[in-house]
Structure 1
Amino acid sequence: MRKIIVTALIALSFLGCSSLQGQDYSTHKVTSGETLESISKHYKVSVPAILGLNPDARKGLKSNTVLIIPKEGTLISSPIRNVAVVNEVEKFISHKVKRKETLYSLSKTYNIPQAEIKKYNTFLYANNLRKGDELQIPVLKKVAETVGGEEGRTNTNVETEKNTSETTNTYVVQPKEGKWRIAYKYDITVKELEDLNPGLPEILQPGETIKVPNLKTKAIKNVDEKYSYYTVLPKEGFYRLKVKTGLDQAVLEQLNPGLAETGLKEGMVLKVPYDRSLAAENNSESIPMPGNELLSTNLASQLGVNKAGVKEIAIMLPFRLHKMDVDTADTKELIKNDKTLSISLDFYSGALIALDSLKKLGANLKVTVFDTKNMHSELLSILDNNNFKNTDAVIGPLMPKNFNTVASALRNDTVAVVSPITKTVTLGSNVFQSRASDADLEKAIIHHFKNQPATNFVFVSDQKHRAKSNTLKTEFIGASSVSSRNDKKTGKDAFYIFDQDIIKALKPGKNVVFLETDNSGFISNVTSILNSLNDSDKREITLATSGQNKPFEADIVSNYHLSNLKFTYPAVSKVVNEDENNSFVRTYEKQYGLTPNAYVVRGFDVTMDVALRLLTSDDLYLSVNDAPLTKHVESKFSYKKKLFGGYFNDAVYIVNYNNLKIEEVKQ
């Protein structure tokens, strides 16, 4: 019966037990004509040493047999008997490799070292594991065997337990090292690392000891800082990765040997060409947040290194608590009908989750919430009766007039005031406008399409937006325009066009049609016509606009048409889709039993961003340079300084409809 030695020999003298000696081993595949003596000379080890590790070799060597060879210079002295722990093969199990299976996952499934799988499937020494490979998996049990005597006689001694072969090793977490980095090093997914270490905390601490696969040193990957690394999300395929990274399947497989055989797996860490935003995520791996599986700047790595003690934040929102009686029908009706109150409550619920997440991580924050009651007089009272000199940042108020009042009152104390939602505020020197302007949105969509080769541009508008449409048209050489027709009787805009109006402007090949309007009926008319003309064999039509508005979401407008036309537009925020399994969404749904709306997510993003900037910089002003770009659940922030003014966020997403979902278009 075949026997395999899998652990270091335990030397026992006749008088007692000596200390455990760890040894390094290599393997050798026997070729025709080789003998024990020739192998012994080649590796510079004694024949008894080889026999001690390969008892079956006494019966003769056969081609393709794999021997375990002790390291050079290892001698097994004849006066000492050695008890070797060996694994005895009871039987073999046939296994056909399935998609996404790896040697590691098979070793875990069958509780057997990867080396043993390779030994009985020798083609794996030269080839990667592939889907469809037929493997022979040995079922092992441990026995103890005495190896000794000048002639190297062996005596099977004591039977012991079923196989519990060591498939893992211990690993000491290094500074700034997170789960993805360790998973990449040991060629496993983040989920597999977590399975190896039940109860593993989200934040790994330097010096912490964890379990990792038992790999040879040369098999452990190095993290090359010249590249970026991306963790595969649930249900993410090569198509979505190409959209996100611009890399097709062949390039990803070339960068990641073995990917072609295993396919993509959730939690798998892929090496990709250096990307600034991904590199920033890699640097922030140690502090995961709800909605930020990896924070997108190095803010997180500094969390808790508060340079100036407690950071103070004030939040000003128009709750109008004086009009509420909790849980009464009138209050519920008030919340339902008062849009400002509803927005405030939604924004605040998102902010609370951000603050709670930071609190759990030990962030040194003092937060004060003020109810402005949506009354200017109340706001003045708050400013008069409270000292804001030590306040690092104020989030709000929502209303432009109230916001400008607060910003002006606190300007001399250089207190940063952040406008969370509105875009029409006075940009004083202490103002942070967190929402991108319409001009930034237009600039982003023009930049997105301007350099696309061999594209015909058409600008369609109603009479109200004709001037704007013509201005946009000047950015694209050779573009044409189409305007809505007027009512023959009244002369007013009739908000429709005919098929022929647009057909004459389209050309074979790629066409981008900008639609500038805020009339849902006109949107329905134009998208219906474009959808009927969208023939991929003759012409490809993409619908775009410089500023998406509510009429595009009206019931009369077909989402199927928008999706077929790959409707593309600039946005201050992207949309988190249900299949993304976002941790902020999970947290909110668990706490409130509802899916968070846009204002909830905005509350989380703005509050999280302000808090992290304060925690990692001396103040919000310096954070503009310390953290030039930050990303959270749906929003990103890149503040620029206006000459003789405050700070504005010009970070814009380009999104489109794709398979009835709104997705970010990777630039």
Structure 2
Amino acid sequence: MNRFLLTLIFVLALGFTSLNAQNFSTHQVKEGETIEKIAKRYYVTPFDIYQLNPDAKKELKPNTILIIPISKANPPKVTIEKELKGFTEHKTKRKETLYSLAKAYGITEDDIKKYNTFLYANPLRKGDKLQIPKFKITEIVEAPKLTKEYTVLPKEGKWRIAYKFGITVKELEALNPTMQEVLKEGEIINVPNLETESVKEIDDKYSYYKVMPKEGFYRLKLKLGLDQEQLEALNPGLKESGLKDGMILKIPYSNLADGILITDSKRVNLTDSISDYGIKHIALMLPFRLNRVEFDTVADTKKSIKNDPYLSASLDFYSGVLVALDSLKRLGISLKVDVFDTKYQVSEVSKIIEENNFENIDAVIGPLTSETFDKAASELRRYNTPIFSPIGSNLNLYDNVFQSKPSDELLKKKVIDFIKSDTLPKNIIIISDSKTINVSNDLKREFNGARQIYSRKNKDGKDEFFVTKEDIQNVLKPGKNIVFLETTNEGFASNVTSVLASLNNKENIELQQKPIEIKLVTTNINSAFEGDQINNTHLSKLQFHFAASSREYNENDKNSFVKTYKSIYNTTPNKRAVKGFDLTMDVVLRLVTSENLYLSVKNTPLTEYVENKFEYKKKMFGGYYNDSAYLVKYDNLTIVEVKQ
């Protein structure tokens, strides 16, 4: 006998008990059997069998021993039907009992008593004449359905449902061939027919990670910092099933080296799709202005950094870039990075491009300022080199330009659409100063029934940037009031928010009116709402809503980027540092998951990182703009994202 086959039989013989203990059984393939028939018999999927028996994909030979996972699906329901066909006479002998007779005739003691009723009151004696019933036994096996219908819950994506039912996203898609990329609330789909207690729940205190092709425990240890034992403890059943391509794993919150979480909707986690591990070449252009820095002493250097806003901004942004480069390296991505000091001079940008070969550079990030960026973008057009603007908006969108910051118009539209989406009755008020009258009139056209209030002016007609309590009180109504505040003046913003906060939730007891509820919004968030004169308690009380290009990360979320940044720089990252990280991660991951950055716009609709998300759209005649922004609000003195 073949030594390998002998060894296999020996191992199976020894390990049979162990296999059963681990929720597995074995099956010897018979002539003419298919994987589909075997899977149906054991209430599992062909995919489950192939995972444990990969050679079965090539050829399924008779007498092959397959390892079969015991199904978690509802077991078959078996019903026994007995039809009386007659009787056999039996004279009781010495030492016979009801138990021995029932066993001998293959029936129950109750069957004997039923047709020999004297036995209910008397014991069985030697010589008793019994009528032993003969039955025709029919076993009815009601096999359970392998799948059942499931109604998609609000904001529920494929990975959440796959995790709940212990399958991969690919398996879920196989059960639903016509399923669209984005699921709709109320949609009916097929899922495995598990018992209720076997369905897992999504715990928002954890993050979730999708296993990539050919990814083993060793690579997960490098990426997630979790060993096999820790992953198995977090994911019951993983020890038995092993890792599977596309499997969803529960992990500690934000425990990902790159700061990317699994998301729903059309958001894409690019770390799942890395296909190009060749060296990528990127360039950074930032206005460090190192020629102006005094390096004689540490004190002089610190003073130079403090006094130069461009150097300070560049260093913040670059610090986030460095953390991103380290995260990308841990993902196995090879990079060549050139860093150039633009010195905040258009002429220096021209010099940099003239003296260096940008034709073979895959992407450029920067410069920061509009004039220098425009110069770099226009000169790099001849090489078709993609260039990303970190902070600029309303740029000249040449066909090689990617504007990562959403436009002011997009932010304005997001707020207006949010107010319009609320169909409940509401009173709309627009408060503005002399510099924002055009905005007020635009909003009036959007909301015809809105009331407009303007800041008071002095006798010379100059704006004094204030309103009185009576000005606002006269246009408020009981119930919901939406107040737009459009200004760039901090004093005016402070005055209006203070008055509104004093009027919020007030009720007129004499007229028995319901309370006045005020929600404050603006279409243009700016420094006027962030100055020292602004009381954040008032903003929280008014649930101040606005659209922003980024959200604020929560330090309590234990984000891995924030943790890494703190360990390196001994401080928390500011918005510029986070933008440096997010933008660099996105640019490079787009490079290694698509043929080029231009095609990535089509392949990757939406990505999201620590504070920023990117959804690029192409202008009909020109470049690319970010068509995605956040709606946020003040809540208990913190700014949180409004889920829509």
Task: Give the TM bin, normalised by the shorter chain.
Answer: 0.5 to 0.7
* Superposition deviation, residue 520 in structure 1: 1.2
* Equivalent position SS for 2:475: coil
Instruction: Report the counterpart of residue 17 of structure 2 in structure 1.
Output: 22
* Equivalent position SS for 1:542: strand
* Superposition deviation, residue 211 in structure 1: 3.9
Rate the CA distance shift 1:176–1:360 in 2: closer, same or farther, 3 A.
farther
* Equivalent position SS for 1:411: helix
Whole-Å Cα distance in 1 between the matches of residues 207 and 594 of structure 2? 36
* Superposition deviation, residue 491 in structure 1: 2.0
1:390 to 349, 360, 364: 360
Instruction: Report the counterpart of residue 622 of structure 2 in structure 1.
Output: 645
* Superposition deviation, residue 422 in structure 1: 1.4
Q: Does 1:625 align with 2:602?
A: yes
Instruction: Report the counterpart of residue 435 of structure 1 in structure 2.
Output: 405
* Equivalent position SS for 1:514: strand
* Superposition deviation, residue 212 in structure 1: 5.3
1:201 to 210, 215, 221: 221
Whole-Å Cα distance in 2 between the matches of residues 37 and 406 of structure 1? 97
Whole-Å Cα distance in 2 between the matches of residues 175 and 375 of structure 1? 51
Q: Does 1:457 align with 2:457?
A: no
Q: Does 1:513 align with 2:472?
A: no
Whole-Å Cα distance in 2 between the matches of residues 202 and 455 of structure 1? 53
Q: Does 1:540 align with 2:535?
A: no
Q: Does 1:314 align with 2:251?
A: no
* Superposition deviation, residue 301 in structure 1: 1.0
* Equivalent position SS for 2:446: coil
Give 2:540's aligned amino acid: S
Give 1:438's aligned amino acid: D
Instruction: Report the counterpart of residue 450 of structure 2 in structure 1.
Output: 479
Whole-Å Cα distance in 2 between the matches of residues 192 and 440 of structure 1? 30
Whole-Å Cα distance in 2 between the matches of residues 346 and 520 of structure 1? 26
Deviation by residue 1:209-239 (Cα, 9 ceiling, x = unmatched): 974599789x99xx9x9xx99979xxxxxxx
Instruction: Report the counterpart of residue 147 of structure 1 in structure 2.
Output: none
* Equivalent position SS for 1:644: coil
* Superposition deviation, residue 617 in structure 1: 0.7
Give 1:291's aligned amino acid: G
Whole-Å Cα distance in 1 between the matches of residues 235 and 363 of structure 2? 50
Instruction: Report the counterpart of residue 530 of structure 1 in structure 2.
Output: 500
* Superposition deviation, residue 498 in structure 1: 1.2
Whole-Å Cα distance in 2 between the matches of residues 391 and 335 of structure 1? 30
Whole-Å Cα distance in 2 between the matches of residues 527 and 359 of structure 1? 48
Deviation by residue 1:415-445 (Cα, 9 ceiling, x = unmatched): 1011111114211111101111111111111
Give 1:312's aligned amino acid: H
* Superposition deviation, residue 650 in structure 1: 1.6
Rate the CA distance shift 1:336–1:429 in 2: closer, same or farther, 3 A.
same
Q: Does 1:561 align with 2:538?
A: yes
* 2:286–2:314 CA contact under 8 A, matched in 1: yes
Whole-Å Cα distance in 2 between the matches of residues 175 and 451 of structure 1? 32
Whole-Å Cα distance in 2 between the matches of residues 384 and 617 of structure 1? 29
Q: Does 1:400 align with 2:370?
A: yes
Whole-Å Cα distance in 2 between the matches of residues 481 and 313 of structure 1? 50
Indicate the larger mover: 372-381 or 557-566: 372-381
Counterparts of 1:231-630 in structure 2, within 5 Å, are 288-294=256-262, 296-303=267-274, 305-306=275-276, 309-326=278-295, 328-452=298-422, 453-488=424-459, 490-535=460-505, 537-630=514-607
Whole-Å Cα distance in 2 between the matches of residues 609 and 476 of structure 1? 38
Rate the CA distance shift 1:485–1:187 in 2: closer, same or farther, 3 A.
closer
Counterparts of 1:135-284 in structure 2, within 5 Å, are 201=221, 203=223, 211=232
* 2:431–2:486 CA contact under 8 A, matched in 1: yes
- Point out where structure 2 has 5 or more consecutive residues left out of the alignment: 1-12, 24-97, 107-165, 172-197, 210-216, 507-513
Whole-Å Cα distance in 2 between the matches of residues 427 and 546 of structure 1? 23
Give 1:464's aligned amino acid: K
Rate the CA distance shift 1:390–1:459 in 2: closer, same or farther, 3 A.
same
Give 2:363's aligned amino acid: A
* Equivalent position SS for 2:221: coil
Rate the CA distance shift 1:400–1:192 in 2: closer, same or farther, 3 A.
closer
Whole-Å Cα distance in 2 between the matches of residues 640 and 542 of structure 1? 32
Give 2:497's aligned amino acid: T
Whole-Å Cα distance in 2 between the matches of residues 353 and 379 of structure 1? 26
* Superposition deviation, residue 576 in structure 1: 0.9
Whole-Å Cα distance in 2 between the matches of residues 425 and 188 of structure 1? 42
* Equivalent position SS for 1:493: coil
Whole-Å Cα distance in 1 between the matches of residues 366 and 311 of structure 2? 14
Give 2:607's aligned amino acid: T
Give 1:335's aligned amino acid: I
Whole-Å Cα distance in 2 between the matches of residues 631 and 334 of structure 1? 35
* Superposition deviation, residue 519 in structure 1: 1.1
Give 1:362's aligned amino acid: G
* 1:292–1:583 CA contact under 8 A, matched in 2: no
* Superposition deviation, residue 187 in structure 1: 7.3
Whole-Å Cα distance in 2 between the matches of residues 659 and 586 of structure 1? 24
Whole-Å Cα distance in 2 between the matches of residues 431 and 604 of structure 1? 19
* 1:186–1:212 CA contact under 8 A, matched in 2: no
Whole-Å Cα distance in 2 between the matches of residues 300 and 215 of structure 1? 25
Q: What CA RMSD, in Å, does the superposition of the two structures yield over aligned residues?
A: 4.0
* 2:288–2:311 CA contact under 8 A, matched in 1: yes
* Superposition deviation, residue 402 in structure 1: 1.2
TM-score by length of 1: 0.60
The number of residue pairs the alignment matches comes to: 445
* Equivalent position SS for 2:546: strand
* 1:193–1:212 CA contact under 8 A, matched in 2: no
Give 2:284's aligned amino acid: I
Whole-Å Cα distance in 2 between the matches of residues 649 and 384 of structure 1? 29
* Superposition deviation, residue 21 in structure 1: 4.6
Give 1:301's aligned amino acid: D
Whole-Å Cα distance in 1 between the matches of residues 441 and 250 of structure 2? 44
Sequence identity (%): 47
Higher helix share: 2
Whole-Å Cα distance in 1 between the matches of residues 208 and 344 of structure 2? 51
* Equivalent position SS for 1:500: helix
* Superposition deviation, residue 624 in structure 1: 0.3
TM-score by length of 2: 0.62
Rg larger for: 2
* Superposition deviation, residue 337 in structure 1: 1.4
Counterparts of 1:9-158 in structure 2, within 5 Å, are 19=14, 21-22=16-17
Rate the CA distance shift 1:438–1:21 in 2: closer, same or farther, 3 A.
closer
* 2:235–2:250 CA contact under 8 A, matched in 1: no
* Superposition deviation, residue 374 in structure 1: 1.6
Rate the CA distance shift 1:645–1:511 in 2: closer, same or farther, 3 A.
same
Rate the CA distance shift 1:314–1:213 in 2: closer, same or farther, 3 A.
closer
